[in-house]
Structure 1
Amino acid sequence: MTVTKALPPSAPAVIIGGGIIGVSTLYHLAKKGMEGAVLLERKQLASGTTWHAAGIVGQLRESSAQTELSKYTARLFTELEIETGQATGYKQNGTLHLALSDIRAEQLLRNQDHAARMKIESRILSVEDINELWPLVDTSDVHCGFLVPSNGQVNPLDVTQALAKGAKARGAQIFENTKAIRILTRNGKVVGVETDQGVIATEKVLLAAGMWSLRFAAEHGVTVPLHAAEHFYILTEAIPDLPRTLPGLVVLEERLYTKEDAGKLLIGGFEARGKAWGREGIPESFEFDELPFDMDHVEPVLEKFFTRFPALETMGIQTFFNGPESFTPDGRPYIGPAPEMPGLFIAAGMNSNGILNSGGVGLTMAAWMTEGQPPRAVASMLAARAHPFQKNMAYNAERVTEGVGLHWGLHWPGRQIETARGVRRVPLHDRLLAAGAVMAERIGWEVPMYFDLENPSWTERASLGWQDWSERVKAECFAARDHAVLIDQSMYGKILVQGPDAVKALNRVSGAEIDVAVGTSVYTQFLNEKGGIEADVTVTRIAAEQFMVVTGHPSQIRDQTHIRAHAEHAWRFEIFDATSAYGLLTIHGPQSRAILQQLSADDLSNEAFPFGAAREIDLGFARVWAIRRSFLGELGYELMISSEFTAHVYDEIMRAGAPLSLRHAGMFALGACRLEKGFRHFGHDIGEEDTPIETGLGFAVKLAKEGFVGREALMRQKQSYGAATPHRSVSVLVEGASAETGPYLIHNEPVFKDGALVGHITSGGWGWRLNAMIGLASLNRENGVTKDWIDEGRFEVQVAGKLYPLRVQLGAFYDPAGTIMRG
């Protein structure tokens, strides 16, 4: 087939990839009034992965923002056929989830709580209800079911064509059989796209090339970690009297799903260990292709199919299908601006959720490409969370074998990544293992979660509440309160910003004043134009023209990008990623000062070294930057040490600390303690849609400072609401809860006052020092969340369908005045 029309010489935006994500973005760009946007597809629309997708459309997601985007997708599918006249095959049959265990039953009850908060109708079904609704399924071991009637299913090819028709009707252009060869840049910025049919000049490109994205992006120095895996399903022959309104069925514990498909059943699964495909690249001829059906590989899954659906024994199987789907290392898509190339946007790695993501992602990318901001927070999906090492092909090929399984199956705190492990190790990795560290993986890093010399391995017992390691975490928290703990946080991002205009660059994005004396550490947020929080960091001035930014390890790339994106071209400064150049050891507890003082001739007294100060001090035979801070809320110090000295300093601290009962602690203890202190976690409690004023962090903003990003938005908010904003972060405590039996706060639990929904839990867990179930919540009140309104009480939290009394206050429950960590 040949191209029948010439490419335009220029376009306001070019989309590479004609799957449903690219076509949806084109449609939404056109709806926003962008005329002449171009989509390039190497073969035919939807010929990669989209065409063989199951087309199941769910709505409940892990966050409120993502759920709203999925709700939008479902709504779009109901309207698209009316708008375009193109059939989509969309029907709202609903989705039914089955629980085969107590933990899954609790998850479904929690899902129902979340659904009600998001105004999505749902029901918990008894086994009798399930049998009546879905008579073909074996329910002998089923505990309960969870039905979302407004979920649906769609024909992926038809809906892609409907989106394309709607886009072209508004002036967008689609070029099939047109291959993008490379993105053209000038001074690092996008200026065009070279194709096999010519060049298009443009300053905005969206890479939505699905499983082709990793290699194409890597050729341009851009990181989009994903890889294709084989995905299998079967299609039965026609089943007499099969209801066309049969809900889609999901059995997560058996990794199965099914849906009615034109009078047949399509039954698929996501095996625990999948098969990577295309390790050497995807064939140039790939178009609507199927892969060989590996019966030996799929047999264990097929056995579950036939056991769960006994009627299959007497049915014929019409189709055994195998097609490629791409998955990312952490199971979330990559969307948003590419940090390495201004003007390039990414929307790839949908993890078999491309159809249900399509409307929301298209809407989001269109807003980003035209307005510079997404309509809703997408922190967990941000493209800038990727780290450069994740371009590695072998890493992605190995991880995808597990990525298929991560997409499905039970999720709980002890479920750990097993593939591509040991990639990134802190300098003390071997010493921590020798001390009993139990490691989890975070963006390649091996991270100590807790310590157990007797059994340094993860349990296989799934639980949402009391864990097999809870006693260990309890001991670590008590040691922080009574003695001292050492935590290795060397995986945290350390970003050196230096040069004559470094202070200008940091002051532009920071709410706090960064132009402070050398030896001062500043807690601040990086902000966006809406006053929302893009980063939660500490900035230490280590020299007149040098600042060290310490941030969470997922934000190592993102924060550098945010600084560069808001700096003026003429400013003289540079950013150096110093993460691997320094270890970061933190020591907390009443004995922490005494331990360090044994190793240093510098005066570490409170008078000489107060809270918030930063000093370069002697420690053992090394020079170390010490900062008086503690995310645990105890007397504490953060120690930034050149990597080559980290082992020496660690050995000296452990030697000096042994007589004072110093012990190791991990991330679980840090998390429990920070909740007790009401310290916000970026990504859970605060994010792009939350301002410092709304989240109780207004103390970290200096509104009198001119010219910082988001200042005008914060000024308007302050003038409109004062301290009583309509949204407010608060500390909460569940009355009468126990560590052993709960109820456990985790995330998204609805909060009520006098029977009315007023908010939700943003993060929670057991606080060992308080001996209470505690957390943080976001409360909403049109007339403002005031202290008087909070002090009235009468709050309740809903956990797995039950209501529990909830104590709420603005300040922390543990040491609310902060006297301990400032002592």
Structure 2
Amino acid sequence: MTTPNSLPQTAPAVIIGGGIIGVSTLYHLAKKGVEGAVLLERKQLASGTTWHAAGIVGQLRESSAQTELSKYTARLFTELEIETGQATGYKQNGTLHLALSDIRAEQLRRNHDHAARMKIDSRLLTGEEINDLWPLVDTSDVHCGFLVPSNGQVNPLDVTQALAKGAKARGCKIFENTKAIRILTRDGKVVGVDTDQGVIATEKVLLAAGMWSLRFAAEHGVTVPLHAAEHFYILTEAIPDLPRTLPGLVVLEERLYTKEDAGKLLIGGFEARGKAWGRDGIPESFEFDELPFDMEHVEPVLEKFFTRFPALETMGIQTFFNGPESFTPDGRPYIGPAPEMPGLFIAAGMNSNGILNSGGVGLTMANWMTEGQPARGVASMLAARAHPFQKNKAYNAERVTEAIGLHWGLHWPGRQIETARGVRRVPLHDRLLSAGALMAERIGWEVPMYFDAANPVWPERASLGWQDWSVRVKEECIAARDQAVLIDQSMYGKLLVQGPGAVAALNHVSGAELDVAVGTSVYTQFLNEKGGIEADVTITRISSEQFMVVTGHPSQIRDQAHIRAHADPAWRFEIFDATSAYGLLTIHGPQSRAILQTLSEDNLSNEAFPFGAAREIDLAFARVWAIRRSFLGELGYELLVSSEFTAHLYDEIMRVGSAHGLRHAGMFALGACRLEKAFRHLGHDIGEEDTPYETGLGFAVKLSKANFVGRETLARQKATYGTATPHRTVSMMVEGASAETGPYLIHNEPVFKNDALVGHVTSGGWGWRVNAMVGLASLHNEGGVTKDWLEEAGFHVQIAGRLYPIRVQLGAFYDPAGAIMRG
């Protein structure tokens, strides 16, 4: 490697961290022609977590974009050795998953459908076929197997060295035994990195320091929530005649995995509750270190392994290994720009997926650092989703004991986080619990999902379809249709944008016109340079120089950063995060107006207070900003009230509402109703790669206003296609489905027209008001996804291997004209 005394004075980019993620980013910067980019490693390359990774390379991920990035990683590993001459140890042995239950078997059948849509070869196997591949495994209780032959395994140290060699061959530099001490800033922006060997001037820094990232970032006021946990595996003695082509094997329900390793088996697992490591910081001397092996802790997983592989019970163990890996509170990595510090990028918290993420993340970060945006959407992994409280070390240390288990095990809609609970509570938290709220955790918030005062305990029965709470959700949805429901959405982000330049700043990032009359609420999207959707918000003008932006609770930090990143320095405005300053109670249903009118002398008639209007009104003894909107598609109001008045307002609404059939509702009911109305959900139905015209949101774009981010792209799209874009989000309904037996739409199910693949489901579920299985799908047709094309016969959706006829249409299935919520 380059010697420390040749540290350059300047560099186009500096990477902190010499694990596989940092080295991959350097390699991809080099391939993009960024000569002279620098990587700093405090010890030796790969000496933190990378060196002891299992090296299993999978491809199927939760979204199409992420799957494409994982496919790229697998392809890169096949080409890297040829390019650099450095061996990587990459073998495409495949990966075999076993299902021990009906729900896991259904998940694997759905994965099989998803793989075919993504053009990844996969196979569903019987017990006999599994034994042909894996003669040592007991399949007596196995429902089925799922094989992806093109998955593989790699030697982490070798592939890191190959990436490093490729980067240096193109003029990038690596400095080992060089510690980054501090990122230097001027006016809040990156201007350099101070190291123990000198200072490097740069305007772009990537923090890819793995388990060191939390504390290093926090020292700079930057949030990167993660913590190290102990991860255990064993290596057997040599097994006679063990095929070197044996696929990696995963038994999710038993939390174990194994792979062939030079004639031996490497056996590991992810226990339901792990052990946090490095609570007081990581020792300065840490380099290729192992931790003490805790046999008592890991024994339950190993016992399951030897029961699953009885022929190996007498097999000797050559190595007992324990090494640290970093995990994040929600089990997803943090990548992208740091919202607190322009010029700083993050790529950390890989959750034991660093090897299989390495190629795609390296490519993504290189694009971001050179072009200002990633090539593919990565919304669920954005660094800007982190909230400042998540810098708390104790929070991360407790959550990581469960986060390692979240990486493995069955995932289903009722799977609940148990650690670090009760961190963030809405003002009505205790009242909601008394009313029977069942709470889930979202970024620390306790969020009411449904209400059941008679049985306020989360069900333990895992299901992908009918749930133990389905009856309660049905009651809430029907009440919204026939009487009224109250939903506490106080955890939603509330951003007060104010100042003479506020309207310019918001208009610049929004597709809709924001220079509207005071007392007007506007639905709009924040856009990127490609016309893609970065945020889905409502904005209310509450005075000539004040706007209130209401956004989803995951987007509280991200949306502020997006406004600031695109603002002209000459514009005079400020953003105040008012999330905790206001409660947000929403009331929906035909009785909602009568309930509120009982508490107010203001005129709430449709003539005086139409849909989309916003008024500051008297309500009980409080002053409230009332906004005529409803994400349920009913007559409804969003009530922004100062936090100290929230309890009073709630008590009064519930008191007068009882005579009108008012009841509580939670997020499950909100989600079911929004599907019936075909309202898009950011992160599922819309994202950075989707434009408003492609998602049926073109009505929220005003091309005639002054220049705004993404306008040129949208103008070209409009001129080329009009309303008949080749890609379009549509509503769909599964013919003949039932709430009790399904089939259930969830996400990623392929959609066919006759025998041709034409798209996939973005979200779905049972609609209680229309009594049908409904969803949203992204469809493709070169001639345009038009009303006439959709009305042609032959549309089907594939769910767990079976085809079902569907109805597809541009508009919603519930009140498609929107007459109810405008009445």
- Classify the TM-score, shorter chain: over 0.9
Structure 2 match to 1:477: 477
Is there any run of 5+ residues in structure 2 with no aligned partner, and where? Answer: none
Structure 1 match to 2:184: 184
Q: Do residues 766 (structure 1) and 766 (structure 2) align?
A: yes
Structure 2 match to 1:754: 754
Contact 2:4/2:176 (8 A) holds in 1: no
Structure 2 match to 1:653: 653
Tell me the SS of whatever aligns to 1:494: strand
Tell me the SS of whatever aligns to 1:78: helix
Deviation per residue, 1:375-417 (Å, 9 max, x gap): 0000000000000000000000000000010000000000010
Structure 2 match to 1:463: 463
Structure 2 match to 1:815: 815
Structure 1 match to 2:256: 256
Structure 1 match to 2:279: 279
Q: Which amino acid aligns with 2:810?
A: L
Deviation per residue, 1:553-603 (Å, 9 max, x gap): 000000000000010111110000000000000000000000000000000
Displacement after TM superposition at 1:138 (Å): 1.1
Contact 1:16/1:180 (8 A) holds in 2: yes
Q: Which amino acid aligns with 2:298?
A: V
**Partner Cα distance (1:138, 1:391) in 2:** 45
Tell me the SS of whatever aligns to 2:362: helix
Structure 2 match to 1:62: 62
Structure 2 match to 1:174: 174
Q: Do residues 34 (structure 1) and 34 (structure 2) align?
A: yes
Q: Which amino acid aligns with 1:650?
A: Y
Task: Give the 5 Å matches for 1:535-546.
Answer: 535-546=535-546
Contact 2:482/2:589 (8 A) holds in 1: yes
Structure 2 match to 1:399: 399
Tell me the SS of whatever aligns to 1:321: strand
Structure 2 match to 1:730: 730
Tell me the SS of whatever aligns to 1:106: helix
Deviation per residue, 1:348-384 (Å, 9 max, x gap): 0000000000000000000000000100000000000
The more displaced of 145-154 and 715-724 is 715-724
Q: Do residues 267 (structure 1) and 239 (structure 2) align?
A: no
Tell me the SS of whatever aligns to 1:556: helix
Structure 2 match to 1:387: 387
Q: Which amino acid aligns with 2:536?
A: D
Structure 1 match to 2:572: 572
Deviation per residue, 1:460-489 (Å, 9 max, x gap): 100000000000000000000000000000
Structure 1 match to 2:583: 583
Structure 1 match to 2:73: 73
Structure 2 match to 1:104: 104
Contact 2:4/2:197 (8 A) holds in 1: no
Tell me the SS of whatever aligns to 1:96: strand
**Partner Cα distance (1:113, 1:801) in 2:** 6
**Partner Cα distance (1:610, 1:206) in 2:** 49
Tell me the SS of whatever aligns to 2:762: strand
Structure 2 match to 1:122: 122
Q: Which amino acid aligns with 1:315?
A: M
Task: Give the 5 Å matches for 1:155-234.
Answer: 155-234=155-234
Deviation per residue, 1:604-657 (Å, 9 max, x gap): 000000000000000000000000000000000000000000000000000010
Displacement after TM superposition at 1:4 (Å): 5.0
Task: Give the 5 Å matches for 1:413-424.
Answer: 413-424=413-424
Displacement after TM superposition at 1:3 (Å): 4.0
The more displaced of 151-160 and 715-724 is 715-724
**Partner Cα distance (2:2, 2:539) in 1:** 57
**Partner Cα distance (1:315, 1:94) in 2:** 24
Task: Give the 5 Å matches for 1:342-381.
Answer: 342-381=342-381
Displacement after TM superposition at 1:548 (Å): 0.1
**Partner Cα distance (2:4, 2:199) in 1:** 16
Displacement after TM superposition at 1:5 (Å): 3.7
Contact 2:635/2:822 (8 A) holds in 1: yes
Contact 1:735/1:805 (8 A) holds in 2: yes
Displacement after TM superposition at 1:306 (Å): 1.2
Q: Do residues 307 (structure 1) and 307 (structure 2) align?
A: yes
Tell me the SS of whatever aligns to 1:35: coil
Q: Which amino acid aligns with 1:688?
A: E
Displacement after TM superposition at 1:787 (Å): 1.2
Contact 2:93/2:151 (8 A) holds in 1: yes
Structure 2 match to 1:549: 549
Deviation per residue, 1:138-169 (Å, 9 max, x gap): 11110100000000000000000000000000
Task: Give the 5 Å matches for 1:556-705.
Answer: 556-705=556-705
Tell me the SS of whatever aligns to 2:6: coil
Tell me the SS of whatever aligns to 1:673: helix
Is there any run of 5+ residues in structure 1 with no aligned partner, and where? Answer: none
Structure 2 match to 1:500: 500
**Partner Cα distance (2:720, 2:821) in 1:** 34
**Partner Cα distance (2:813, 2:251) in 1:** 41
Contact 2:2/2:174 (8 A) holds in 1: no
Deviation per residue, 1:85-131 (Å, 9 max, x gap): 00000000000000000000000000000000000000000000001
TM-score calculated relative to the size of structure 2 = 1.00
Contact 1:746/1:765 (8 A) holds in 2: yes
Displacement after TM superposition at 1:311 (Å): 2.1
Contact 2:633/2:820 (8 A) holds in 1: yes
Structure 1 match to 2:805: 805
Deviation per residue, 1:256-295 (Å, 9 max, x gap): 0000000000000000000000000000000000000011
**Partner Cα distance (1:331, 1:449) in 2:** 21
Instruction: Let me know the Cα RMSD of the aligned residues.
Output: 0.7
Tell me the SS of whatever aligns to 1:682: coil
**Partner Cα distance (1:359, 1:607) in 2:** 58
Displacement after TM superposition at 1:793 (Å): 2.8
**Partner Cα distance (2:206, 2:33) in 1:** 17
Contact 1:3/1:178 (8 A) holds in 2: no
Q: Which amino acid aligns with 2:186?
A: R
TM-score calculated relative to the size of structure 1 = 1.00
Displacement after TM superposition at 1:706 (Å): 1.6
Tell me the SS of whatever aligns to 2:313: helix
**Partner Cα distance (2:94, 2:630) in 1:** 48
Q: Which amino acid aligns with 2:176?
A: E
**Partner Cα distance (2:783, 2:112) in 1:** 28
**Partner Cα distance (2:789, 2:246) in 1:** 47
**Partner Cα distance (1:147, 1:302) in 2:** 23
Contact 2:521/2:538 (8 A) holds in 1: yes
Tell me the SS of whatever aligns to 1:759: strand
Q: Do residues 716 (structure 1) and 743 (structure 2) align?
A: no
Structure 1 match to 2:518: 518
**Partner Cα distance (2:783, 2:168) in 1:** 45
**Partner Cα distance (2:311, 2:51) in 1:** 28
Structure 2 match to 1:454: 454
Tell me the SS of whatever aligns to 1:462: coil
Contact 1:524/1:539 (8 A) holds in 2: yes
Displacement after TM superposition at 1:2 (Å): 11
Tell me the SS of whatever aligns to 1:314: coil
Q: Do residues 330 (structure 1) and 330 (structure 2) align?
A: yes
Structure 2 match to 1:12: 12
Contact 1:74/1:151 (8 A) holds in 2: yes
Contact 1:231/1:324 (8 A) holds in 2: yes
- % same residue: 89
Contact 1:3/1:177 (8 A) holds in 2: no
**Partner Cα distance (1:276, 1:730) in 2:** 45
**Partner Cα distance (1:2, 1:765) in 2:** 56
> Closer, same or farther in 2 for the Cα pair 1:563/1:4, shift >3 Å?
closer
Tell me the SS of whatever aligns to 1:715: helix
Tell me the SS of whatever aligns to 1:145: strand
Aligned residues: 823
Structure 1 match to 2:486: 486
**Partner Cα distance (1:209, 1:137) in 2:** 38
Contact 1:2/1:177 (8 A) holds in 2: no
